[in-house]
Amino acid sequence: MTQWTNDQVDKIGRAEEVQVASARRDGTLGKPVTVWAVRHGDDIYVRSVRGRSSHWFRGTQERHEGRLRAGGVQQDVAFVEADPDINDEVDAAYRAKYRSYAGTILNSVLTPEARSTTMKLEARSTGS
C-alpha cells in the first residue's frame, strides 16, 4: 500500500463525482462507473446507492482492487470494507458535501442498503 498525498486527498475530496473501476479476476479493469465520494479526515469513502447487489459493487468484491479517477487524480486503489462504526461520520460527510442536492437524491447514499456498502479507498502502488 502507498499513502494518499495531501494533494490527492484534497482533489478527490473536492471532486463532485469520481469514477471507479474494479479489477476483474484476470487483473484487467472493468468499465468505470461514476459515484459520489467523500473525504473523512485523510480517508476517502464510497458507497453503492443500489446496495450490495449492484454490479459495480459486486465487482469490487472479487479482487478488492481497481482504479479511481477524480479531480485530475488517477490512482490504483484497494476497496476496503469500512468499519460500520464509521457510518454516521461518513453520512455527515455526504450530507455536508452534497447538501445542495434534493433530499431524495442525497438520501439515496444514506439508506441502510447504501451504508452496508461503505468502502474506504486505499491508494495502491501501480502494479501491486
pLDDT band at 128 (very low <50, low <70, confident <90, very high): very low
- Assess contact for 124 and 1: CB atoms under 8 A: yes
List, for residues 91-109, the tens digit of each pLDDT value. Answer: 999 999 998 887 888 999 9
List, for residues 8-40, the tens digit of each pLDDT value. Answer: 999 999 999 999 999 999 999 999 999 999 999
- Assess contact for 40 and 86: CB atoms under 8 A: yes
Averaged confidence pLDDT in the chain: 93
SS3 at position 23: strand
Domain ranges of the chain: 6-123
Cα–Cα–Cα angle for 126, 16, 96, nearest 5°? Answer: 115
Strand blocks (E) in 17-106: 18-22, 33-35, 37-40, 43-46, 65-70, 73-81
Q: Could you tell me the CATH superfamily of domain 6-123?
A: Electron Transport, Fmn-binding Protein; Chain A (2.30.110.10)
| pLDDT recorded at residue 126 | 67
